[in-house]
């Protein structure tokens, strides 16, 4: 497509994020992104493939019911958040409130569920109400990150991958703040959880404290029809500085402490200075999406990382996965 294309009341424009803007004053604006024409759907797919993110602006998607209809229209069948480490409150069905941690905290960039055996291919966000101050959703082009990192770091993650460890408590409300395994896997059946984990994770076992799993994943992925290499991991979040925040990376202690840890897929430690370089590179590549009420944002979860800036006041942002 050209830089700007007008297709039946929607203007599509390349960029990061790419833009899909409603034109004119036609009523029933929510119906437009929920029922794209074949030409509009092709334009959306092309932009998502080449840029990794498309922001629909001016369509008035403000309620959870509106968003569910639009998300299903854009994504098809929606997926649960099974295996995720973040607290998620369902707004309706498989539509979740994208609340994240405390409003005063930065939500660091990540690829959704990159540490798990499965991850969504596409995310769909919508803003019912922007925060009074701050609260932008941040997006980061994984290919730009990959190109910006020193060759020795990106090559290590590309060739070795990452192994993630999580030790989850039996019960919710643990002082560690770690989600329990029933919350994480959305069932209290030990049999179902272990059956799923043994078929999906690298390893899984019950401990005296809870559930311990490891999972080896790629550190980078080839994305898009051009197969460009993109950064795809959240080792910078899971590999903590032991001198500041104890984690479970040290293998002889992983059965005695709840938490998360990460090391290279070959079993070697990820150096702290490597994580520092990755963290700064992510900051340098961050682009904020400053919400307007009614916005809808599509994100290719393999090509683009996302996060959230701190905010004050009420903020209503929904998210769905596919």
pLDDT digits (tens, 9 = 90+) for 106-120: 999 999 999 999 999
Does 251 have pLDDT greater than 80? no
Distance CA 197, CA 194 (A): 5
Q: Mean pLDDT across the chain, nearest whole number? A: 90
The yes-or-no verdict on residue 18 having pLDDT over 60 is yes
Q: What's the confidence (pLDDT) of residue 245? A: 47
Residue 202 CB coordination number (10 Å) = 15
CATH 3.60.130.10 domain residues, the chain: 4-141+288-321, 143-281
Average confidence (pLDDT) over 179-184: 92
Average pLDDT over residues 94-108: 85
- Selected from 3.60.130.10, 3.50.50.60, 1.25.50.10, 3.30.465.10, the CATH number assigned to the domain covering 143-281 reads 3.60.130.10
- Helices 151-160 & 272-284, crossing angle to 10 degrees? 110
pLDDT at 15 over 90: yes
What pLDDT is recorded for position 244? 44
Q: What is the CA radius of gyration of the chain?
A: 20
CATH superfamily of 4-141+288-321: Clavaminate synthase-like (3.60.130.10)
Provide the pLDDT confidence category of residue 242 given band limits of 50, 70 and 90: low
Give residue for tokens 């019912």. 128
Average pLDDT estimate for 295-304? 98
Q: Which SS3 state, helix, strand or coil, does residue 70 take? A: helix
Between residues 24 and 209, which one has the greater pLDDT? 209
**Structural tokens at position 4:** 């700007």
Compute the half-sphere exposure of residue 291: CA atoms within 13 Å on the CB side of its CA: 30
More reliable by pLDDT, 1 or 166: 166
Sign of the dihedral through C-alpha 109, 111, 113, 116: negative
Question: 128 to each of 60, 62, 70, 240, 291, how far by Cα in Å?
Answer: 9, 4, 13, 34, 9
What is the phi-psi region of residue 109: left when phi exceeds 0, alpha when psi lies from -120 to 50, beta otherwise?
A: beta
Q: Please tell me the predicted confidence (pLDDT) of residue 255.
A: 72
H-helix or E-strand spanning residue 230? strand 228-231
What is the rounded CA–CA span in Å between residue 220 and residue 305? 12
> Under a CB-based contact definition with an 8 Å cutoff, are residues 125 and 299 in contact?
yes
- pLDDT at residue 132 tops 90: yes
- Would the pLDDT of 189 be above 80? yes
CA dist 112 and 127 (Å) reads 19
The torsion angles phi and psi of 279, rounded to 5 degrees, stand at: -60, -45
Residue located via tokens 């899909």: 20
CA within 13 Å, CB half, 180: 14
Q: Which of 79-88, 99-108, 182-191, 295-304 has the highest mean pLDDT?
A: 295-304
Q: Which two tokens stand for residue 221?
A: 């992925």
Q: pLDDT-derived band of residue 265, with 50, 70 and 90 as boundaries?
A: very high
């Amino acid at each position: 497509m050209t830089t700007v294309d007008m297709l039946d009341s929607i203007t599509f424009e390349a960029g990061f994020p790419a833009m899909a803007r409603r034109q004119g004053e036609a009523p029933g604006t929510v119906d437009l992104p929920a029922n794209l024409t074949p030409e509009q759907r092709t334009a959306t797919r092309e932009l998502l493939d080449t840029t990794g993110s498309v922001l629909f602006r001016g369509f008035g998607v403000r309620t959870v019911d509106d968003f569910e209809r639009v998300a299903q229209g854009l994504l098809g069948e929606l997926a649960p958040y099974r295996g995720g480490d973040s607290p998620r409150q369902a707004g309706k069905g498989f539509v979740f409130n994208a609340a994240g941690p405390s409003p005063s905290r930065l939500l660091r960039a990540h690829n959704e569920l990159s540490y798990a055996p499965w991850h969504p291919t596409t995310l769909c966000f919508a803003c019912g109400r922007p925060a009074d101050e701050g609260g932008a959703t941040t997006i980061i082009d994984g290919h730009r990150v990959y190109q910006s990192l020193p060759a020795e770091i990106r090559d290590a993650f590309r060739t070795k991958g990452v192994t993630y460890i999580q030790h989850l408590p039996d019960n919710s409300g643990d002082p560690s703040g770690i989600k329990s395994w029933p919350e994480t896997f959305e069932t209290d059946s030990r049999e179902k959880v272990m059956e799923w984990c043994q078929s999906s994770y690298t390893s899984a076992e019950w401990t005296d404290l809870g559930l311990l799993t490891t999972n080896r994943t790629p550190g980078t992925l080839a994305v898009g029809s051009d197969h460009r290499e993109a950064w795809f991991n959240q080792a910078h979040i899971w590999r903590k500085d032991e001198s500041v925040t104890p984690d479970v990376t040290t293998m002889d202690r992983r059965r005695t402490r709840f938490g998360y840890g990460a090391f290279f897929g070959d079993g070697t430690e990820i150096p702290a200075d490597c994580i520092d370089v990755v963290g700064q590179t992510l900051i340098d590549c961050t682009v904020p999406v400053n919400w307007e009420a009614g916005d809808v944002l599509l994100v290719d979860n393999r090509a683009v990382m996302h996060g959230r800036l701190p905010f004050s006041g009420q903020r209503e942002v929904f998210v769905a996965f596919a």
